[in-house]
Amino acid sequence: MSQQQISLPAKLINGGIAGIVGVTCVFPIDLVKTRLQNQRPGQQVYKSMMDCLVKTVRSEGYFGMYRGAAVNLTLVTPEKAIKLAANDFFRHHLAKHGKGLNVFKEMLAGCAAGMCQVIVTTPMEMLKIQLQDAGRLAAQQQKPVIVSSTKLVVTNPVLSRSYNSGMVVSAPRAVSATQIAKELLQTHGIKGLYRGLGATLMRDVPFSIVYFPLFANLNHLGKTSPEESSPFYWAFLSGCVAGSTAAVAVNPCDVVKTRLQSLNKGSNEETYNGVVDCVSKILRKEGPSAFLKGAGCRALVIAPLFGIAQVMYFVGVGEYIVDNSPLHLLSA
């Protein structure tokens, strides 16, 4: 990669297409991951990944599995594009005289890419989690009480529900990402969308440090000669293995991030005042195993996402679009 002139528009297009295709394929598993991570002991609505998928389809329909997908599909293009393009950019500038990078420089490039992507990742995750977790909260509320046939009116459906007071109310009405974003901006300003930024950095920077060097070295093993690229299938498998490995490695940080970014809580669920408070309360009340909640789901989500991303790079979809459109002027 360091030996080639980087075409930034092509890299952005490759990352964007890969993100859209990947999210469309694996979003239901990502929804399951969020709901499993937010469950507390004694209040489990779902027993496993399959149980969560089945119950979601039964109670919310097929499209219930895609709650929050619109946010991801809108923002995953810049998010994945920034991540992949930034890594290429930093690898290109860290390489000296066309030589390959050592592991330390590969990790440094990954670290820089992870820090760049949180500009988009944090608000995207913030909005997505509220929408994904709404079904779990509704199911949890319906378990202990019989909901009357008359609808209860909630004056502030986003931030002012009575979950933290221990009062159980009827299932929350559906809200959109736009409504949530507007409410956050009105009440907390721009920092409301960046709640959990520290935890997002804790997750995404180590992920990139693990993923990019691991992928580069695995992909290198598939090359028959230094001048040739690895086969199509090898790039896909390298992306899958590196992605799933990095995803499981940083899953504890993902659990903390999910808990901190969940605005609405079920009855008797803990609230947290920052990363340290969240980690200590989870350890004390749920034990170390709680940090692995949703790890399998996360691996299943990330593996194809990054496998598809690397295939897009291999095929050169972005390069083709740039070469056959006015965008080639930008990369000239």
Q: What is the pLDDT of residue 143?
A: 60
- Between CA 85 and CA 18 the distance in angstroms is 12
Regarding the domain with residue range 8-39+48-137+175-263+271-324, which homologous superfamily does it belong to in the CATH classification? Mitochondrial carrier domain (1.50.40.10)
CA-based end-to-end distance of the chain: 18
Q: Taken in order 84, 105, 315, 235, is the CA torsion positive or negative?
A: negative
- 99 pLDDT higher than 80: no
What is the model's pLDDT at position 154?
Answer: 40
* Cβ atoms 278, 7 nearer than 8 A: no
d(Cα 164, Cα 269) in Å, to the nearest integer? Answer: 7
Least confident of 3-12, 187-196, 292-301, 305-314: 3-12
Q: What percent of the chain has pLDDT over 90?
A: 37
Look at phi and psi of residue 294 and say left if phi exceeds 0, alpha if psi is from -120 to 50, else beta. left
Boundaries of every domain in the chain: 8-39+48-137+175-263+271-324
For range 105-109, the mean pLDDT: 90
Helical H segments across the chain, by residue range: 8-38, 49-60, 69-94, 103-142, 177-188, 190-193, 197-221, 232-249, 251-261, 275-286, 295-315, 317-323
Highest mean pLDDT, choosing among 71-75, 223-227, 308-312: 71-75
Range name among 218-232, 245-259, 283-297 with the lowest pLDDT average: 218-232
pLDDT, position 173: 55
Q: What is the mean pLDDT of the chain?
A: 82
Q: Give the Cα separation of 44 and 187 in Å (integer).
A: 31
Q: Helix, strand or coil for residue 321?
A: helix
pLDDT 10s digits, 109-132 = 989 998 998 999 999 999 999 998
| Res 90 pLDDT > 50 | yes
Q: What is the dihedral of CA 35, 289, 120, 108, to 10 degrees?
A: -160
- Say what the pLDDT of residue 314 is: 75
Residue 280 has pLDDT above 90, yes or no: yes
- Is pLDDT at 7 greater than 90 in this prediction? no
Per-residue pLDDT band for 299 (boundaries 50, 70, 90) equals: very high
Q: Which has the closest alpha carbon to 298: 19, 21, 26, 17?
A: 26
Q: Kindly state the average pLDDT of the residues 18-23.
A: 82
From 172-181, 208-217, 297-306, the region with the lowest mean pLDDT: 172-181
Residue 328 — pLDDT band, cuts 50, 70, 90? low
pLDDT tens column, 154-208? 444 445 443 333 333 344 456 788 899 999 999 999 999 999 999 999 999 999 9
pLDDT at 221 over 80: yes
What are the residues whose beta carbons fall under 8 Å from the beta carbon of 290, sequence distance 6 or more?
A: 255, 282, 283
